[in-house]
Amino acid sequence: MSHHQWNWKSRDGELLYAQAWQPEGEVRSAVCLVHGHGEHSGRYGHVAAALNRAGHALLALDLRGHGRSTGRRGHIPSLQALLEDLDLLLEEAARLFPGRPRFLYGHSMGGLLVLYYTLRRRPSLAGVIATASALRSTLENQRIKVALARLLSRLLPAIALSSGLDPDTLSRDPAVVQAYRNDPLVHDRISFRLAGELLRASRWCMEHAADFPVPLLLIHGGADRLTLPEGSREFAARAPGHCTLKVWEGLYHEVHNEPEQGEVLADILSWMEERLKVEG
């Protein structure tokens, strides 16, 4: 496989780092990846390798305020700015691989973003894959904190606090947890604006799940303590008939980094194959 990196300038002047992994030979589809909060696209090299072996290219960017992209850590000016950044990713996939089907793949916060983006933008896609989507979390049961986050999102939007993420909840693989702790590109900052916007997006997505326009694969670890599997279950129950839900009992938050990651990625590839048959 080949790998290349580049930078975009966003519409409001941020420098966005992006990279792509391309298989040898014919590219069957282009997968556009959106990572989770606090992490970056470089943590998905093994996912790219699995996709490349099956003939799929993977393109990814570091979201503003994350990884190698510029911007205040863990902060966004608006959800609209994120949608415009994802526009760049999908446009680049179309430019690099014209005529090839495109998939949108997001994890955690990225899982919520790809759902929100698809419902808002209605892009031409072969399908959407969302793992551990941030549709429901334990925060929602803490009404005072939720109300405070929404208020401070308007009053003190750029103030950032620790997200409180415990790396031990990411994976049952100690090597994954240690690598996360040692990764200099990982951060735990989240601004009041970002927290408030994510809460708003999750509520809006649930309200509009029945309108989801393309085939959807929802995957969640049954033992996820960061984003609750109930969120994926509820969205799937509200979504149209072309939504597939798979809850992996016993798996933690990063299903693609669990000891069972080979099986999880094989499931994703199998679902993609079915979508490509329909596209073909």
Q: Which of 35, 40, 253, 256 is catalytic?
A: 253
Is 107 catalytic? The answer is no
Is 69 catalytic? The answer is no
State how far the Cα of 62 lies from the Cα of 42, in Å rounded to an integer.
Answer: 8
Q: Which of 37, 107, 220, 224 is catalytic?
A: 224
Q: Where are the alpha helices (DSSP H) in 103-185?
A: 109-121, 143-155, 174-182
Q: Which of 10, 29, 41, 108 is catalytic?
A: 108
Select from 118, 89, 47, 71 the least CA-distant residue to 264. Answer: 47
CA dihedral 144, 148, 151, 156 (to 10 degrees): 180
Looking up tokens 């790219």 gives 48
State how far the Cα of 136 lies from the Cα of 143, in Å rounded to an integer.
Answer: 13
- 2-13 burial, b at 16+ Cβ within 10 Å, e below that, comes to eeeeeebebeee
State how far the Cα of 141 lies from the Cα of 212, in Å rounded to an integer.
Answer: 26
Is 163 catalytic? The answer is no
Strand ranges, E, within 167-248:
189-191, 216-221, 243-248
- By annotation, the residues acting in catalysis are 108, 224, 253
